């Protein structure tokens, strides 16, 4: 694994998403090598740093670009709700600004022996490392023509993502696109407080994604509980709300999932 170093980079893209999420793309400095699921430690003030997971996969090929990924840089998804130094620093950044970071860090990475059914459970900004890992699994080492074959050997790859409101469905189109084009990728969402008028069919432009089957009002652990009636995951990756992770681990181990194959990242 690469030894963490200090890098200087530049903001190449900044997008204010709905509510308090900001998507940043930083120039990938020469020599910065990371694995899907790892994070950087962004310098947000004099002697102050904040960790942020890289949300895109480490390499680029035609498929990722076609699927909407921007792999020529380091993508971050920052939830600025807590309004501390990290949030304010990111909110004030502009395209062209220089930034410093240390990295890569973290052991929340895809094991070499990954196989079978792979579930990703995330809430809020916890989707960031999961997105990188999913992109890596789907895209790495495959050409356009063999993409479906790879998905097949992997079993079912499920992203079960939860937020309160539909406005916070970050990367929604990206994952719908995967659900549409990758045979064994399934995208499930849980909204705990959707608006009365919410209708997933309205935000799904492609009916082939069978979107309606995969949305649930409530928590992602309830989706997991239902799925466990018919399927067992071989590997699980968790990131997000601490309560969700606690409940999910209990649920999964109770259903016979191997604890050593349940990997998680805590954001606090
Ligand atoms: C390994 C790792 C990876 C991370 N990756 C991401 C990422 O990809 N995207 C992202 O948005 N954040 C991520 N975080 C969290 C991030 O580093 C900061 O904690 C967060 O942005 C708040 O920083 P801040 O300086 O704005 O607020 P702080 O000054 O750190 O905190 C302000 C207030 O908010 C509370 N608070 C801070 N963080 C949380 C939290 N997670 N849950 C509940 N209360 C909190 C604090 O207790 C405090 O009261 C990651 C954290 C870790 C440890």
Together in a domain, 132 and 78: no
Please report whether residue 110 resides in a domain: no
In this structure, the answer to whether residues 128 and 234 fall within a common structural domain is yes
Cα gap 104→51, rounded to integer Å: 10
Question: Domain ends where: 49, 75, 105?
Answer: 105
Q: What spacing in Å lies between the alpha carbon of 33 and ligand 1's midpoint?
A: 24
pLDDT at 179: 83
Atom 13 of ligand 1: nearest residue by CA position:
52
Is 9 within the bounds of a domain?
Answer: yes
Distance 182 CA to ligand 1 centre (A): 32
Per-residue pLDDT 10s for the chain (268 aa) are: 788 999 999 999 999 987 899 999 999 998 899 999 999 999 999 999 999 999 998 865 444 444 444 447 999 999 999 999 999 999 999 999 999 999 999 999 998 888 889 999 999 999 999 999 999 888 764 444 445 555 556 788 999 999 998 888 899 888 888 887 887 888 899 999 988 887 766 554 444 444 545 778 899 999 999 999 999 999 999 999 999 999 999 999 999 999 999 999 999 8
Kindly report the protein residue whose alpha carbon is nearest to atom 31 of ligand 1: 84
Give domain status of residue 33, yes or no: yes
- From 34, 51, 163, 237, the mutation candidate for ligand 1 (largest count of ligand atoms within 8 A of CB) is 51
Residue with the smallest CA separation from ligand 1 atom 42 is 268
Q: Which residue has the CA at smallest separation from atom 33 of ligand 1?
A: 82
CATH of residue 204: 3.40.50.80
Ligand 1 atom with the shortest distance to the CA of 86: 25
Q: How far is the CA of 268 from the centre of ligand 1 (A)?
A: 6
Per-residue b/e over 121-138, b at no fewer than 16 CB within 10 Å? bbbbbbbbbbbbbbbbbb
CATH of the domain at 53: 2.40.30.10
Structural domain includes residue 112: no
Distance separating alpha carbons of residues 175 and 50, to the nearest angstrom:
27
Q: What are the residues whose beta carbons fall under 8 Å from the beta carbon of 99, sequence distance 6 or more?
A: 8, 9, 10, 11, 26, 42, 43, 93
Domain membership of residue 128 (yes or no) is yes
Any domain includes 78: yes
| Same-domain status, 62 and 178 | no
Q: Is the CB of 54 under 6 A from ligand 1?
A: no
Same domain membership, residue 122 and residue 100: no
Residues 99 and 18 in one domain: yes
| Statement to judge: residues 151 and 79 lie in one domain | no
Atom of ligand 1 lying closest to residue 55 CA:
8
Q: Does 143 lie in the same domain as 85?
A: no
- Same domain? For 85 and 185 the reply is no
Provide the 10 A C-beta neighbour count for residue 177: 20
147 and 84 share a domain?
Answer: no
C-alpha 52 to ligand 1 mean position (Å): 9
Residue 113 belongs to a domain: no
Last residue of one domain, picked from the residues 70, 105, 140: 105
Last-in-domain residue among 105, 129, 144 = 105
One domain, residues 125 and 253:
yes
Same domain (yes/no): 54, 130: no
What is the number of domains present in the chain? 2
Give the pairing type, strands 39-45 and 98-105. Answer: antiparallel
Has residue 111 been placed in a domain? no
What's phi and psi for 42, nearest 5 deg? -85, 130
- Number of other CB atoms surrounding residue 236 within 10 Å: 24
Structural domain span for residue 46 = 5-105
Please give the distance, rounded to the nearest whole angstrom, from the Cα atom of residue 81 to the centre of ligand 1: 9
For a mutational test of ligand 1's pocket, the pick from 52, 56, 90, i.e. the residue with the most ligand atoms closer than 8 A to its C-beta, is 52
| One domain for residues 58 and 172 | no
């Amino acid at each position: 694994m690469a030894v963490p170093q200090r890098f200087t980079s530049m903001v190449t893209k900044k997008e204010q998403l709905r509510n308090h999420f900001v998507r940043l793309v930083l120039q990938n400095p020469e020599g910065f090598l990371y694995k899907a699921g790892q994070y950087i430690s962004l310098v947000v003030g004099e002697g102050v740093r904040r960790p942020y997971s890289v949300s895109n996969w480490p390499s680029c090929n035609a498929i990722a670009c076609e699927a909407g990924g921007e792999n020529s840089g380091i993508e971050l998804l920052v939830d600025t709700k807590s309004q501390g130094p990290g949030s304010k620093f990111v909110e004030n950044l502009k395209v062209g600004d220089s930034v410093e970071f240390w990295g890569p860090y973290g052991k929340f990475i895809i094991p070499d022996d990954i196989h079978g059914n792979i579930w990703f459970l995330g809430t809020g900004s916890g989707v960031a490392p999961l997105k990188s890992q999913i992109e890596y699994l789907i895209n790495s080492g495959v050409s356009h023509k063999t993409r479906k074959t790879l998905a097949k050997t992997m079993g079912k790859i499920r992203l079960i993502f939860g937020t309160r409101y539909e406005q916070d469905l970050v990367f929604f189109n990206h994952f719908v696109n995967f659900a549409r084009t990758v045979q064994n990728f399934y995208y499930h969402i849980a909204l705990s407080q959707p608006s009365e008028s919410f209708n997933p069919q309205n935000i799904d432009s492609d009916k082939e994604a069978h979107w309606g089957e995969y949305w649930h009002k409530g928590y992602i652990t309830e989706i997991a509980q239902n799925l466990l009636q018919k399927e067992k995951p071989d590997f699980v990756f968790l990131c997000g709300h601490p309560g969700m992770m606690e409940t999910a681990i209990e649920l999964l181990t109770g259903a016979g999932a191997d604890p050593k194959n349940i990997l998680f990242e805590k954001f606090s």
